[in-house]
Each structure stands twice: as C-alpha cells, then as structure tokens.
Chain A
Amino acid sequence: MGIKKNKFSFCMLIFLLFLQMHSVLALYEDEIGKHDWTRQFVGRVQHLEFDLPAGTTTKQRSQQLQGGSSSRRLFVATDHNVLAAIGLKSSRIIWRHFLEDAPVNGIKLCDGALFSMSNGLLRSWSTSRGILNYEISVQEQLEAKFAGTLTCHEDPDDDRSLVFASTARRLVAVAPLTGALEWAANLDAGSGENHSEVTSFPNPDGLTVVTFDPTAGKMRLHQFGAESGVAKRTATVKAEWLTSLQRCAISVSTLACLDPAGSVRLLSLSSGSDFKPLPPSLVEQLGHAGPWQSVEEIGGQDLFQLTTNSGAVVAMLDASLATGPTGESLPAGSLLRYRGQVRFLLRQQGDGGGGVTLEASSSSSLVASNKISLSFASHHGRVSQLYPVTFVRKGGSSYGYRVVMTTRDADLHAFDDTGERQWMREESLAGIVSVEAVDLPSADEDELVTPGGSVFSSFAQRLSGQVHHFIHVLQHLMLCWRARPASQADSLGEFGYPDEAPAPPASAASSSGSGAGSLIRDEFNLHKLLVVATKDGKLAALDSATGRSVWRLMIPMPAAAAAAEGTAADSARTEARIEPLAGGQMPLYIQRTTAHFPLEPMATVLCRDSSTGRPVLFSFNPITGIGIGLAQRLQSRLLQALLVPQPSHDNGQYIRPLMLLSDTLQVTLYPAKTALPHGFKSLNLYTVDRDNRLLQGYRLRLTEQQQQMSAISTWRLALHEPILVTAARRPTEQVHSVGRVLGNRHVLYKYLNPNLLAVATLAKDMVTPAPQIGDAYTQITIWLIDTVSGRVVASATHHHSSGPVSLVHSEHWLVYSLWNQKQRRFQLSVWELFAGNGLRDCMNATQPIVGKQSYILPAPVQHLAVSQTERGITAKSVLLALRSGGIMELSKAFLDPRRPFDMTPEFQEEGLMPYHPEVPMSTQAIVNYNQSLHRVEGMVTVPTGLESTSLLFVHGTDLFCTRVQPSKMFDVLKADFDYAFIAAVTIGMIIGSFVTQRLAARKALFRLWS
C-alpha cells in the first residue's frame, strides 16, 4: 500500500514538475481583472487642502471661486505617508505619491502649487498631474527624525507669496513659483539645547515659529517678518510641565497648551514671556473649569476649541489676553470650524454614529444660515475631523459650501450643502490588521442532521432543516428581487460607494447586501468572504470575487465599562476606543463555520480597550455582520488565546471554544457555557514574549473533577536576543506526500513535526570584523523550536546580516529573506527538514536532517507568503511582495536545498534544477502585473475547492486579490480551451472514417474486377 502510494505520488510529482517546467506562470492579457481586483486607498487623512484657482490671494479667491467646486480636487496627506489628489466629485484618486517612511508634517496650497513637508524636505508639486516642481532640503544636518511645519504667507497688499518651511533647527522662506531660496534662518543659535519639536503659524507680518525641547522643558519663540531672516523677536519660555508640543495649539497671537492636570495655559506670542492660566472671567463665561481633554485651533483667528472628558466642546475666542476674551459654550459633542466668514458647527448627539447636524451661519448676507442633518451609517463612529470649504455660487449672489470629514474609522465622507452625501471612501480598509476567509453557505446543505439522535428525531430534524432551508432560499430570492433597482443605482462607479443610510441592524443586512442573494458558494468554492479587522476597531467583509464590502461593523465598546470604571476614565483622560492588542495584532477566530446550516456561523475578534488596556472579545455572524451578544471585557490580561482544534458536539452547537490563558495562568473558555469536545485531555500552547526575549510553553489540561482547566508552565527558552519575527505552520495545512522519491528510488521522508515554530533573532556580529565605514555588522539567527518540548530542533546563524526578515514555514520547509550587509544584497534562504537516520539527541528525540541553501534575491522584498491548496497535492509557490510593488510568484522548485552543483542523471530524473546563485526574476511571474502595491502589510493565502487554485489576498495601503495556480490549472479545462476545434476534429475524423471506408471498398471492387 505504502509503495503504491509512493509510486502514485512520484508519478504525480513528475507530472506536476512537467507541468511546471514547461509552462510559464503568467496571465493572459485578456484576463486582466477577470479573477483579480484591486482597490486603492490613501489611508487616514491627516492633512487636507482644497484646490483653489491658481495665482490668487485670499482676497481674490472669494470672487474667483465660481461654483465650480464640482470639478475640483482635494489634496490629502495621510498616516500612510501618502500624498494624493482626490476628485471632489468623483472621489477617485487622480494622482498619488508614496513619500518616505516619515510622517508628513503638513501640506499647503500656495500660489497654485501644492507644497508638502516631510522628512526635512520641502517639495512642490504640480496640482494637475502630481509632477514634482522642485525639492528643497530644509535641514542642514541629518537627523533621525525630522519634525517640521509648513505655512504659506500671502501678503494682502502685494501679490508676493512666500512658503515657510521649518524643522526644529532651521527655517527657510521660498518663493513658491521658482523655488528660489529667499532667506533662511537658524533657529537654534548653538545653545546646546536639543529642540526637537516645532510648530508655526502665520501672522499678519510674517511667521511665528515655536520650538520646544522636551527634555529641558524649554520653549523658544521666534517672530519673523516676510522680508528677512532676522528674527524680530526671540524669547525663551520655560515650560517644564509640558510633555510635547502636540498638547498645544497655536494661532495668530496665542499659544494654548494643556498641562498634565488638564488645565489650559496661554502664552501671548507677541508680548508674553510666560504662560498664564485662563483668566477667571473666561472660566466663568465658559462654565467649565476643566480638566480639558484637548485643545485645538479652529479658525485662524485666535480661536481655540477645548474639549472636556465628557465630550463637551467649548469654543473660546481670545482676541487679546489684555482686553479679556469672549467665550461661548457649545453643546456636548460639537466641532466648530471657521472658513472665511462662515461658521460651521457640527453637533454629534450621543456617540455621534449615524447622524450629525451641521449648522452654517455667517454675519454676511451672502450666506443663508442653515441647518442640515448629515447622515451616515452608524458603523463609522463619531466624526473626528471636519473640513469645510466655501465657494461663491455661479452669478456670485450667494455662498455655497462643501463639507469633507473623516470619521473615527478613518473613512472619508463628502457632503454638499443640502446635506446629501456625495461620496465615501472606505479608507478604513487601508488599515487592515487581520484577515480570515469564510466559506459562503452552500446552496444545498448536506449536514442538516446532527449525528447521534434517534431515527425519528433525525428525520424530524432533517424535515425541519429542509423547510428552514426552503424559507431561506425564498427570502434570498425576495431580497434579490427587492434589491435589484438599488443595485443598478449602486453600480454607477467602479467603487463609488453610495453607502446605505443609517438603518437598524436587521435591515442593514438586507440593504447592504444588494448582492446578498449572490452570496452563495460557487461550484468550486472560489467565492469566499474575507472578514477583516482594521486597526481602528472596525470589522468588514469583502467579497472575494469583486472586492465590494458586503457589510461593515464597528466593534462596540463593552457596555459595563462606563459605570464600573468611571473614575479610571477620568484619569486616563483619553476617549476610550477599541484598538489592536500590543504588537498590532487583532486576531479573528472562526468559531462555527457555515457548514451547520440552521445554526448561524460565528466569528470572534479579540481586541483591546484603549483606556484600560483590558482585552475585549466580540462575536458576530461573519456572513451577515450582525453582532452575536455584546462585547465582553475580560478582567485579566491574556497570555494566549487559541481555538480548541475540534468543535464540541455537545448540545448541537458545533462551536469551537476559544481557550483563554490569563497572566495568572487561569484558563477560561469563550463562550463560557461551551463544553469541551468529547475526549479532550490536554492542549499545549506557547507564548512569545518579545519584550523579555522569552519563549514559554504551557500545557492545559482538565483537572480531576473534569470540570476545571488548569495550566502549567512546561518550558522556558530565553533567547537573549531581540526577536524579529516568528512563523509557524498553518494548523489546517494539508500535506499530501510524506516523502520525496530520489533518483535512485530511495525515499527521503519529510520531517513533519506540526509543532515547529521558526524564530528569527538579531544580535551583534562578533565574528566578522567591522567595516571601515559605518556601523558594526549584526547577525541573524534562525531557530526552529518544538513548541511542545521547548527543544531547539535546528538553528543557524547568518553573520553580517540584518533585517527586515520575512519568514514562511510550510510542510517540512522554511524560507526566509534577509539583508546581507557585507555583500549588500538581499538573500533568500531555504531549509528542508527530512526525518533523520535514527540519531537521537540528549532528550531522546530524533534529530532531523536539515538541508540548507541560499540564493541572491535581486530585488528588495517586504513580505513572503506561500500558496495553500486544499489537499496539498499541488506544488507550492512562494509569493514575494517586492518593494517595487509587484507580487512575484516563485515556484518552490527553485528554492530546494537539493539543487546540485553538478548535474547527474539521477538528479535529472528527480527533476532537480542545477544550482544557480540568483533567484530567477521574471515579469511574467508578477501576478499583479502593473497594479503596483506599495506598503504591503500582509499576504493571506486561502485554499479553494479546486486543488490547483489558491486565493491570494494582499493588504496594505491597497487591497489586491487574485487566484494563484502554482501548477497551472490542471483540474479544470483552460478558459481558452477550444471546444469548437476539438468538436470539429472529432466530427471530421468520423466523417473521414466513413469516406475512406467507402473509398477503400470501391478500390477493392475495382481491384477484383481488374
């Protein structure tokens, strides 16, 4: 039997190798977008500028801005360090640039060009096509991190504009059109202070720059005129109580800062030399004494907005501290913005999700004061930023305005002045942290009956199940029929999301799912739902066939929190929100799949409450996006959470319990009432402690009474080196063949230990002598650790190497990439583990034979992944996310430690390729062709019902999904299969056979006659 199987697998291998060698893994041009989709994002908007006509000053703008804002664009800079232009009407990305890995300090439109300041570089861009005009280094000296500010000074008297860009050390004034340096000024006059933060604001004459040294607590003010770099006024102010300039807001003549107690201190920029508390008269007027949560500048006219813990917002007008400011109290949950003469007041009631009101008012008669309600779905959360723009309508008789805003989930919305939403960009999807693929419910369910019942109960269950199913199908049909007109309206743009109006959850499923009826598993299970969790605490499901969002849901805050921790929230002084766990993870667990039809599927997300840092669990239906129960806050911190491998069949729930191990070694199950699967005895798990560079193993087992679970620590492994990455085999991975047949008909058996963990650590290289210039070398060590015993199965050190390291572990092999510092090139290494020849180590465990080989990778790589198929028969492909934006598919056959230097017939028979130091790069192997994907955060592969095919989902700033076929599509006829040709040949052969038969008969007849 074994031999037979081996023979079969050998044949299969040869067959697959044959397929591989003789076919290039490539797409056909007509397959663009057929099996793949891309969605491009920019990220959470941090700076936004509206495009205004070129060459106008503020005064002229109001006259020139003629109602044409519809054809205009807005410029954004985001947390992904992206600078982009977005159509104000179409919501499409017109152009987009990925800047350096440093925060964008600001963007400004000045004299018709767009300016950006990041990484100490001032850049000017053409607004129409995004071509760089010029680039100026603001800094004289290199620094690890640049703070910076950017302002545009427009002289109201003459048409001369200036762009001021500054870092904490140097200020430059640049003529916007030419890029000529007008003047420059050094901000630190060699005083030995380390000013690392900076903020600035234009004043009528020029510019005020404030730099801050957080370590010494010293602040320095500089006031510059537009004409020269000699400071008109310089003052040093002590502010030891201030932690960061981010707790300050600057305006024309005032700097307002929050002290640690939460009270506001004001500094007059023109005359003051010390911070002063809020005048008592103002406190009285405001009706609040603090503590305040945030201070923000809102109108460019010495106007600040103070927010209290309860969310109440107060605006404070502070024309001059001497005369006594005027203040006004605004209702809770308000955002106030000034744009020219128009005042915009946004009010959010409650949590603000679902609907807010916007009030526009002005002293000018041109503006009709009005109040509109802006509605958006509740899953967006509160409004976090408001960007209004005003323009003069055609004819110049009245003002109109547009409002662009970001919500807490990072989505970007645009409304017109009737309160109608124009568009919404799902920027939240640029922040995906975890992905889980869910099989769609099958159209005909087989598993309607739970095993273990009597004949009659089974029969009754079956009948009721069928009836359920029939009703379900009818409902689906009804929904389809009802949703049809809506879906036609939806399909206006490619991804123009006319997001649904706020609706109760029950109908949300139906309205959001205009394609809900089509959410049925296809023949080969290629169509799946990708359930994703974003770093802003939002859940969404993407249709794997189109990329459309099927549902979206904000993870709710646990309800009990507010009452129980009212005091804690006060001290935290930050708004509580859902965030990923430490390390940026937010794991999703599929606790019940769609295979148990009358029971709805269930998924659970594990996240954290930012105010208390306690873990939060929330369960939901991954197909409909409706929450199951409420979010739960756990009382203790978690060491590890893991799904029990088998579902428990008790009371017909089919839930795979989630096992939670707390830091006090308490074991709990989630959901709490779930029983453990029958026959469950013990479970081994491990934790990776990056802070302490420690790996620890635990065993969970049932206590004597079979009621309680207990955990014991089984092993500890201190690595003493920083842990870079870890990788383990996917628990669901299928291995088809346990051995590898060699050319001489011997078999190498794979070392298939399912408990292996690969760890990469970084340390100082003590062996290689340091280079003549630059830093000393580092070394990377790769460890393979058995997570049950804590034994190191294998390890190897790469001298003079550094990260970024990316690791994948699959079947019996390990592939990783690293940077070779000495040779200055990227390197790809592979390990293959084979069962040893019976040698045992001191712990009486068999040692595997490890084959290793390294290759030069000619292109920088950011991530690695491996294809996954249902049965593991298909050859594996390693997927490389290149820095240049391509996702390259590389057959595992190229990464094989057995690739020989000298080819022999035996090796040839085995199908090995001779060793070549460079990994072959081919543009045809780029699966995303010219749709470059920058800033890839992760790649997920999912097996499908077709053995040849694996789904690949790439997330980062952009999303991309495609099908990967490492051995080509051997189980389905090709898309371009020529049916007509085959039919014609067959029919032709049949006809031919008849004709020739007749001819032959005639010939025979003639021969007989002759």
Chain B
Amino acid sequence: SEMTSKCISLKALTALAAFACLLPVSRGHTIEGVIEQPMDADADFLAKTRITVDSGNYLGFIRANRTFIVQHVPSGSFVVEAIHPNYLFEPMRVDVASSGKIRARKLNFLQPALVKKLTYPLRFVSLGRAAYFQQREQLRTLDLLMNPSVLIMVVPMLILLVMPKLMNTQDPEVRKEMQQQMNFFSNKQNMPDVAETLSNWFGGGGSSGSRRSGSALKDAKRPGVKKRAA
C-alpha cells in the first residue's frame, strides 16, 4: 500500500518510471515497529536507542512518536534487536519473505525452527534496567544472625538455656538425672582453662591481684605448680 500511495504522489513521473514503480522492484523491505519507553527513562532515551537488524547491517532510529522503521532490508531471516546502554530488550527474529510478507517470532537459538509468533509491527518492551553492578555487601545484624554458622552455635545454646526451664525440676527423677549431667560437666573442670592459657600467652593484663588469687587457688589443687611458686 505504501508503494502505491507513493506512486500517486509522484505526479510528475514519466510513464516509464510509473510502470517501474508498479513492478515488484527489489528496493528491499521495511521493518516497522514501536518501542515502549520505560517509566523511569530520561529525556535522551529515544536518541540513545537504536534498532539493529542482522547484527547492525541495517539500522533503525526511534522517532519522537516511539516508532521506528528499518529500510532496505532484503528478504531473509534476521535478528532484530533494540539496543540502549541502560535498558534491556528481548531480541526477536523477523522473517522477511521475498513477497514482502513479514512475520516476527520469538528468538530461539537452540531450536531455530521453532515458531512462536509475536505481533508485527514489532513491539519492544523493556525488560528492565541492565544490572551491570554487584551490590556491595553490607554488615547487617540480621544477616549476621541468619548466618548458618551462627545458627549452629546459637540454637543449641538456646535449647540448653530454655530446656531446664521447661522441665519439671521438682521431679526427683529428673533432678537425679540432671545431677548426673552436672557431674559430667564438672568433671570437665580438669580440662585446661582456655581463658587462662590465653592470658598467659598475652602475659597477663588483668589486675594482678585477682590473677594471683585465682592462680593461688588452682595451685592448691595442682601439686606441680608448687615447685614453681617455691
């Protein structure tokens, strides 16, 4: 229809030229479409967007009414992309028949023969802003608490604190059992004291009085230390 309308407008064309115009000349085909402007796009959106056909061999630019045309496209099957530095658009495959019939379908590189039709004239809708950047990790208390290693530590501790409260401590049987457990724990007293070793490493640092009192008490329990004290 475009071709015939052009023919009408060419008032002063010679008869020969008019005849040539009516013939299906190989002037190439025109791909048409529209692009949806994202809501948060800036004023330069239209000028910065370009439509490429066949990896940039044919170009289209966006007009102020957001429509575009790509001219001089020969018949064949092409990938049509809308390219903007900040927004992503899904590319499409456009098949141009030699009769000038054009259809658009979903681009599928894995199954090129699969046809999933899309609307024509093309309609590009932004998939959103391109995420070029990684989010900086921030130290958040919740993240720290939800950390698996923290959870492994904290949950048993909570159970250890809460369970005795839940149990009936008045029950003599339970009490006996607990006593046993406590004994088990108190046996651990013989284990080396981590805190003490650490403070020994750092050469002490707490008030000397308390340290002496602490070590004096322990000295009483361990005969080997006496020699050193002497």
Interface residues of A (CB under 8 A from B): 24, 26-30, 95, 97-101, 119-121, 123, 126, 129-135, 137, 139-142, 181, 183-186, 189-190, 228-230, 773-774, 823-826, 856, 858, 860, 883-885, 917-918, 923-924, 926, 929-932, 976, 978, 981, 990, 993-994, 996-998, 1000-1001, 1004-1005, 1008
- Report if B141 contacts A (CB, 8 A): no
Q: Is the CB of A1005 within 8 A of B214?
A: yes
Contacts A29-B133, A993-B198 aside, 19 further interface pairs with beta carbons under 8 A come to A95-B47, A100-B57, A126-B64, A230-B12, A823-B109, A860-B55, A884-B52, A884-B83, A885-B85, A924-B132, A924-B133, A926-B132, A930-B86, A990-B202, A993-B199, A994-B206, A997-B195, A1001-B214, A1005-B214
Indicate whether B178 reaches chain A with its CB closer than 8 angstroms.
no
* A930 in contact with B20 given A773-B76, A998-B206, A1001-B213 (CB within 8 Å): no
In the complex, the answer to whether A140 meets B21 with C-beta atoms within 8 Å is yes
Q: Is A137 a contact of B133 with CB atoms below 8 Å?
A: no
**Complex Cα–Cα for A189 and B189 (A):** 112
Chain B positions 10-66 with a Cβ under 8 Å from a chain A Cβ: 10-14, 16-17, 20-21, 25-28, 30, 43-44, 46-47, 50, 52, 55-59, 61-64
Please, which residues of chain A bring their CB within 8 A of the CB of B202? 990, 993
B71 close to chain A: CB less than 8 A: yes
Write the B137-163 contact mask toward A (1 if CB under 8 angstroms, else 0). Answer: 101000000000000000000000000
A-B contact pairs, 15 of them (CB 8 A): A119-B72, A131-B64, A132-B64, A133-B64, A137-B30, A142-B28, A181-B9, A189-B14, A924-B131, A924-B132, A926-B132, A931-B85, A997-B195, A997-B196, A997-B199
**Is the beta-carbon distance between B132 and A918 smaller than 8 angstroms?**
no
**B220 shortest CB reach to chain A, Å:** 8
Of B12, B52, B136, B199, the contact of A994 (CB 8 Å cutoff): B199
- Complex-state Cα separation, A923 to B133, whole angstroms: 8
Contact partner, B134, options A100, A134, A924, A998, Cβ 8 Å: A924
Residue of A132, A133, A139 with most chain B CB atoms under a 10 A cut-off = A132
User: What are the residues of chain B within 8 A of A228 when measuring CB–CB?
Assistant: 11-12
Partner of A135, one of B69, B83, B134: B69
| Alpha-carbon distance A98/B57, docked complex (angstroms) | 12
Partner of B109, one of A30, A141, A825: A825
Is there an interface contact between A28 and B134, defined as CB atoms closer than 8 Å? yes
Contacts of A773 in B (CB 8 A): 75-76, 98
A785 CB to nearest chain B CB (Å): 30
| B205 adjacent to chain A (CB < 8 Å) | yes
**Which residues of B are in contact with A by a Cβ distance under 8 Å?**
6, 9-14, 16-17, 20-21, 25-28, 30, 43-44, 46-47, 50, 52, 55-59, 61-64, 68-69, 71-72, 74-77, 79, 81, 83, 85-86, 88, 98, 109-110, 112, 130-137, 139, 189, 193, 195-196, 198-199, 202, 205-206, 210-211, 213-214, 217-218
B61–A918 touching, CB < 8 Å? no
Asked if residues B56 and A860 are in contact (CB atoms below 8 Å), the reply is yes
CB-based nearest B residue for A771: B76
Contact A183 B10 (CB under 8 A): yes
Q: A137-B72, A141-B25, A141-B26 are in contact. Are A824 and B77 (CB under 8 A)?
A: yes
Q: How far is the CA of A26 from the CA of B85 in the complex (A)?
A: 17
Give the residue name and chain of the A residue nearest to B77 (CB).
A824
Measured CB to CB, the closest approach of chain B to A987, in angstroms, equals: 12
Q: Are B110 and A121 in contact (CB under 8 A)?
A: no
A1004 contact from B16, B21, B71, B218, Cβ within 8 A = B218
Q: Determine whether the beta carbon of A1005 is less than 8 Å from that of B10.
A: no
Residues in B whose Cβ lies below 8 Å from that of A996: 195
Bound Cα distance from A883 to B98, whole angstroms: 27
A137 touches B27 (CB 8 A): yes
Q: How far is the CA of A860 from the CA of B78 in the complex (A)?
A: 12
Using Cβ atoms and an 8 Å threshold, which residues of chain A touch B57?
100-101
Contacting residues, chain B, for A924 (C-beta < 8 A): 131-134
Q: How far is the CA of A126 from the CA of B112 in the complex (A)?
A: 39
- Residues in B neighbouring A186, C-beta threshold 8 A: 13-14, 17, 20
Distance between Cα atoms of A860 and B206 in the complex (Å): 69
Residues of B within 8 A of A230 (CB): 12
Whether the Cβ atoms of A993 and B109 lie closer than 8 Å is: no
Nearest CB in chain A: distance from B62 CB, A: 7
**Contact flag A27-B47 (CB < 8 Å), given A100-B59, A883-B56:** no
Assess A135 versus B131: contact at CB under 8 Å? Given A140-B25, A181-B9, A885-B85: no
- With A and B bound together, what is the CA distance between A1004 and B130 in angstroms? 62
Chain B residues within an 8 Å CB radius of A183 = 10-12
A315 to B82, CA, bound (A): 50
Indicate if the CB atoms of A1005 and B213 lie closer than 8 Å: yes
Chain B residue with Cβ nearest A136: B71
User: Which chain A residue shows the least CB distance to B131?
Assistant: A923
Task: Give the shortest distance, in Å, between A542 (CB) and chain B (any CB).
Answer: 23
Whether A994 lies near B61 (C-beta < 8 A) is no
- Measured between alpha carbons, how far is A825 from B139 in the docked complex, in Å? 45
Within the complex, the shortest CB–CB distance from B95 to chain A, in Å, comes to 10
Q: Tell me which of B13, B30, B135 has the highest count of chain A C-beta atoms within 10 A of its own C-beta.
A: B13
Complex-state Cα separation, A917 to B76, whole angstroms: 25
Please indicate the chain A residues that have their CB under 8 angstroms from the CB of B134 in the complex.
24, 26-28, 924
Instruction: Out of A823, A976, A997, name the residue touching B206 (CB < 8 Å).
Output: A997
Bound complex: CA of A864 vs CA of B61, how far in Å?
28
Cross-chain contact B71 with A923 (CB below 8 angstroms)? no
What are the residues of chain A within 8 A of B69 when measuring CB–CB? 135
Assembled-state Cα–Cα distance A773/B74 (Å): 11
* 8 Å CB contact of A930 from B30, B85, B139: B85
Decide if A100 touches B58 in the complex (CB within 8 Å).
Answer: yes
Return chain B residues, CB-CB under 8 Å to A981: 139
Partner of B12, one of A24, A229, A825, A923: A229
Q: Which residues does chain A contribute within 8 Å of B68, judged by CB atoms?
A: 132
From A28, A131, A858, A998, contact of B133 by CB (8 A): A28
Chain A residue nearest to B200 in the complex (CB): A997
Given known pairs A978-B139, A1005-B213, A1008-B217, the reply for A132 and B62 (CB within 8 Å) is: yes
Report the minimum CB–CB distance from B34 to chain A (whole Å). 14
Give Cα A230–Cα B13 distance, bound, in whole angstroms: 8
Across the interface, which residues of A come within 8 angstroms of B43, CB to CB? 129
- Bound together, the chains give a CA A140 to CA B24 distance in angstroms of 10
Question: Are A185 and B112 closer than 8 Å at their CB atoms?
Answer: no
Among residues of A, the one whose C-beta sits closest to the C-beta of B207 is: A998
Question: Which of B71, B85, B199, B206 lies in contact with A137, CB distance below 8 A?
Answer: B71
Query: Do A121 and B71 form a contact, CB below 8 Å, given A885-B83, A997-B195, A1005-B217?
Result: yes
Say whether, besides A131-B46, A142-B72, A997-B199, A189 and B16 are in contact (CB < 8 Å).
yes
| B14 x A824 contact (CB < 8 A) | no
Q: Contact check, B72 vs A131: say whether CB atoms are below 8 A apart.
A: no
A994–B195 alpha-carbon span in the complex (Å): 7
- What is the chain A residue whose CB lies nearest that of B98? A773
How far, in Å, is B52 (CB) from chain A's closest CB? 7
Which among A24, A101, A826, A930 has the greatest number of chain B C-beta atoms within 10 A? A930
5 tightest A-B CB contacts, nearest first: A1001-B214, A860-B55, A997-B195, A929-B132, A930-B85
Contact B130 A858 (CB under 8 A): no
B16 with A856: CB separation less than 8 A = no
- Are the CB atoms of B198 and A929 closer together than 8 Å? no
Which of A101, A141, A184, A885 meets B27, CB within 8 Å?
Answer: A141
Q: If A126-B64, A997-B198 touch, does A976 touch B81 (CB 8 Å cutoff)?
A: no
In the complex, which residues of chain A have a beta carbon less than 8 angstroms from the beta carbon of B137?
976
Min distance, Cβ B110 to any Cβ of chain A, angstroms: 6
Do residues B13 and A184 form an inter-chain contact, with CB atoms below 8 A? Answer: yes
Give the chain A neighbours of B28 by CB distance below 8 A.
Answer: 137, 142
Chain A residues near B139 (CB-CB < 8 A): 978, 981
Q: Could you tell me the distance between the alpha carbons of A230 and B10 in the complex, rounded to whole angstroms?
A: 11
Q: Is the CB of B130 within 8 A of A930?
A: yes
**Residues of chain B within 8 A of A131, CB atoms compared:** 46-47, 61-64
How far is it, in angstroms, between the C-alpha of A824 and the C-alpha of B53 when the chains are bound?
A: 13
Of all chain B residues, the one with the shortest Cβ separation from A931 is B85
A585 to B85, CA, bound (A): 32
Distance in angstroms between the alpha carbons of A858 and B93 in the assembled complex: 12
